[in-house]
Structure 1
Amino acid sequence: MKNGIQANIGATPGRKVYAVDLFCGAGGLTHGLVKAGVDVRLGVDIDPACEHPYVANNNARFLLKSVEELEASELERHYRKNGIKLLAGCAPCQTFSTYNQKATESDKRWWLLLQFSRLVDELSPDLVTMENVPRLIEQNVFDEFVANLEGNGYSVAYRVVNCAEYGVPQQRNRLVLLASKLGPISLLTPEQFGKRPRTVKEAIGNLPPLSAGTSHPKDPLHQCSALSEINMRRIKASRPGGTWRDWPRELVADCHKKSSGKTYPSVYGRMTWDDPAPTMTTQFFGFGNGRFGHPEQDRAISLREGAILQSFPPDYEFTRPGEQVCQKSIGRLIGNAVPVTLGEVIGASLLSHVSEATKKAYRSRRRSRSQ
């Protein structure tokens, strides 16, 4: 990050920040933290599909284990004695998502945030960060998580941010929490972070063209779903930023012809070049699952394009060389990921905070000695 914040971080020598990433997924948060300058030592997840992309792209170990069964001692050994300890994570958010209208406290995932809280209690890290869907802020389990942090002496700050404002080429609202035992903390503003919003064209406009159902020979992840005959006619009738309401009536799905379906225009749509993409979901590779049609080409976006719109680097490796690409599995990893750039914002915010706290402590010591 080439801005004043980055220069400020490096201006004061201090203890290095070491991190463990719970619910690490394919490594979006870890990769962003590392870009900011945090040394992430370990990622933990229950999904074996996460291991290869996490390890292949990040200089960190991977532990396949449920957080419910995790002991603090298994994490403690990955920190360094003289470093600042960061515990990071994004508990599975589907149960809190606006897409899940049937979420209840009986869902096991509802309580994983409290397992995160348990590990904070047992590890007592200097810093904590948590990223999740905005709807979590309305839940009692979140209030309990925050109260526990404050009760253990942490300064806590949290807010909902639009990732597009920080340079993620996607409209994605996320809840970000930061907590510190070093003093008051806050997330950098978009102006402080120094990156402007990016459009779909800036992000994926230079990728090689594809036909529906094909892949690029030099990048197996740059592949897109096949389209049925009716869906090919539908995408050809779609305009960038439009909806299925623009189609001839014979192309409209029966469910949308009913009065109950007329209020759901945000499917079967093309993205527009000059705006950020819509929120990437785990089903982004399907034309009928949202506004995931390519702005120009008659196809849904590819897995690689979805990853780039999640701000993963264009060469981020999700499968082993020669391994068959499963669209459903890789799409899930990409859609569930923390955008890399948001991880970088979080990391830069934490390091800026540590730098300021270090300078404040140094000034305090000097005053004490002079008295």
Structure 2
Amino acid sequence: MKITSNPYNPIPTIEVIDLFCGIGGLSYGMKSKGFDILAGYDLDSTCRYAYETNNRAKFIYKDIKTVSADEINALYSKDAIRVLAGCAPCQPFSSYAFKNKKKDPNKYDLLYEFGRLVKETLPDIVTMENVAQILAFKDKPVLSDFVNLLKSCNYHVWVKAVYCPNYGIPQTRRRLVLLASRLGEIELIPPTHKPNEYKTVEDAIGDLPELEAGEADPNDPLHRAKALSPKNINRIRHTPYGGSWKDWPKRLQLRCHQTDNGRSFGSVYGRMVWEKPAPTMTTQCTGLGNGRFGHPTQDRAISVREAALIQTFPKTYKFFADEEYVAITKASRYIGNAVPPKLGEIIAESIRIHVSEITKK
């Protein structure tokens, strides 16, 4: 498309359709940079409230395999820059999947379906976020197939694993980011933070009220921590600052930890530390035994609110219509599956700069 500018609006309107949108982390980050979010597609209908409430955009409950090019194109305006975004479910490409023989073969098809829609709709810009392990995935060349399809449709493609602390996200998340444009060369903006400037656990959650395991903050229903059994309370009390199960007396250790394989999981039942970024938030990030998700100094796992803040969701983000009855397991799944809104902002800023530079030519 030919991009024209005027003195009142230096760049055209940028419109976004978000495939595999979940509760809207990517959309929210892009909306925060002034993009018009038109719609999000997802097969989890329970994400509707959070997506629509926070993004003021339509949630479409539909299998991507049944979505047509005509349907997508009808949502865009005539003279806008059209962005098609997506984060195909990453279970087949995750670290866990490399160890798990029982993979769902249907999940592989989702990136190909994304590619189908790109080829049929030819949006101006495409962006994708996924786990970094997809770069090394051996079973199927899904990423290289996707990149080759983009190039065959005259897209300039930038793709790289991104270390999230370099962009102000307080967790050691490493994610693949892809940007592709039919307008010209495009790339992610340079890192915004040096190692001595990384956002830390303390930056993210250091000001929240103290909690006991199983307790909720009366002023913030999302600041709620899972209850722990007496034995696990004893275990977390025996876990020093920054420590893990390896610091427990033998009577508290699990049998699996005493095997050669179990000894390799040194972070399980671990505590975070205040002065460093947190580990990657997963769908089980509020469970003490699922990683280094113990609070740095309190005898509990992190709360839903703490997980959301580490994932860069603002306190104003609404996850449920009634947050007095927070389902911790569901909230953790929403948060762990989401694109950090801050990463969405970085992607949007990269697109905005790209469009601005093309406009000036």
* Structure-1-length-normalised TM-score: 0.91
Q: CA deviation at 1:315?
A: 2.0
* Runs of 4+ residues over 6 Å off in structure 1: none
1: distance between equivalents of 2:102 and 2:187?
31
Q: Alpha-carbon deviation of 1:225?
A: 0.4
* Aligned residue number for residue 200 of structure 1: 201
Q: For residue 190 of structure 1, what is the aligned residue in structure 2?
A: 191
Q: Is the 8 A contact 2:168 2:193 kept in 1?
A: no
Equivalent of 1:34, from 8, 31, 35? 31
Query: Which residue is 2:280 aligned to?
Result: 279
Match of 1:232 in 2: 233
Distance in 2, Cα, partners of 1:69 & 1:178: 25
1:122 aligns to what? 120
**For residue 351 of structure 1, what is the aligned residue in structure 2?**
352
Kindly provide the amino acid, as one letter, of the partner of residue 92 in structure 2: T
3-state SS of 2:16 partner: strand
Give, in angstroms, the shift of residue 134 of structure 1: 0.9
- Map residues 156-175 of structure 1 onto 2, 5 A cutoff: 156-175=157-176
Q: 1:45 to 1:234 in 2, by over 3 A?
A: same
Determine the structure 2 residue equivalent to 1:99: 96
Q: Kindly state the Cα deviation for residue 35 of structure 1 after the two structures are TM-superposed.
A: 1.3
Deviations 1:310-350 (A, max 9, x none): 00001211111256221111110100100111110000000
| 8 Å Cα contact 2:166/2:193 also seen in 1 | no
Which shows bigger deviation, 71-80 or 38-47? Answer: 71-80
Which residue does 2:45 correspond to in 1? 48
Mapping 1:301-312, distance limit 5 Å = 301-312=302-313
Give me the whole-angstrom Cα distance separating, in 2, the residues matched to 1:285 and 1:247. 21
Within 5 A, what are the aligned runs for 1:207-222?
Answer: 207-222=208-223
Residues 309-328 of structure 1: pairs in structure 2 closer than 5 A: 309-321=310-322, 324-328=325-329
Aligned-pair distance for 1:230? 0.8
> Quick check: 1:45–1:65 contact (8 Å CA) kept in 2?
yes
Distance 1:309 1:255 in 2: 30
Tell me the SS of whatever aligns to 2:75.
coil
Matched letter for residue 169 of structure 2 = V
Equivalent position SS for 2:129: strand
Pair 1:192–1:241, CA change in 2 (3 A) = closer
- Cα distance 1:196–1:85, how it changes in 2: closer, same or farther (>3 A)? farther
**Deviation per residue, 1:260-301 (Å, 9 max, x gap):** 311111100000000000011100111011000001111100
How far the C-alpha of 1:128 sits from its partner, in A, is 0.2
Q: Which residue of 1 aligns with 2:62?
A: 65
Q: Please give the TM-score of this superposition, normalised by the length of structure 2.
A: 0.93
| Counterpart AA for 1:129 | T
User: Is 2:16 the partner of 1:16?
Assistant: no
Deviation string 1:334-368 (CA, Å, 9 cap, x unpaired) is 001001111100000001000001112xxxxxxxx
For residue 91 of structure 1, what is the amino acid of its counterpart? A
- Report if the CA contact (8 A) 1:36-1:345 is conserved: no
> Which range is displaced more, 175-184 or 139-148?
139-148
8 Å CA contact 1:95–1:103 kept in 2: the answer is no
Q: For the Cα contact (< 8 Å) 2:228–2:300, is it kept in 1?
A: yes
> Whole-Å Cα distance in 1 between the matches of residues 23 and 104 of structure 2?
27
Runs of 5+ unmatched residues, structure 1: 1-9, 361-371
Secondary structure of the corresponding residue to residue 95 of structure 2: coil
1:53 and 1:322 map into 2 onto residues whose CA distance is 11
2:158 touches 2:178 (CA, 8 Å); kept in 1?
A: yes
Q: Over aligned residue pairs, what C-alpha RMSD do you find?
A: 1.8
Preserved CA contact (<8 Å) 2:221 2:324: no
SS in 2 for 1:233: helix
**Helix, strand or coil: the match of 1:40?**
strand
d(CA) in 2 for partners of 1:312, 1:73: 33
| 1:42 partner SS | strand
Report the AA paired with residue 130 of structure 1: M
Aligned to 1:264: 265
Helix, strand or coil: the match of 2:51?
helix
C-alpha distance in structure 2 between counterparts of 1:280 and 1:239, whole Å: 21
Cα deviation, residue 37, structure 1: 2.1
Does 2:111 match 1:113?
yes
Shift of 1:241: 1.7
Residue 245 of structure 1: aligned partner: 246
Contact 2:268–2:289 (8 Å) recurs in 1: yes
**1:111, distance to aligned residue in structure 2 (A):** 1.2
Q: Are residues 196 and 23 of structure 1, via their aligned partners in 2, closer, same or farther at CA, if it must alter by over 3 Å?
A: farther
Is the Cα–Cα contact under 8 Å of residues 154 and 179 in structure 1 kept in the other structure?
yes
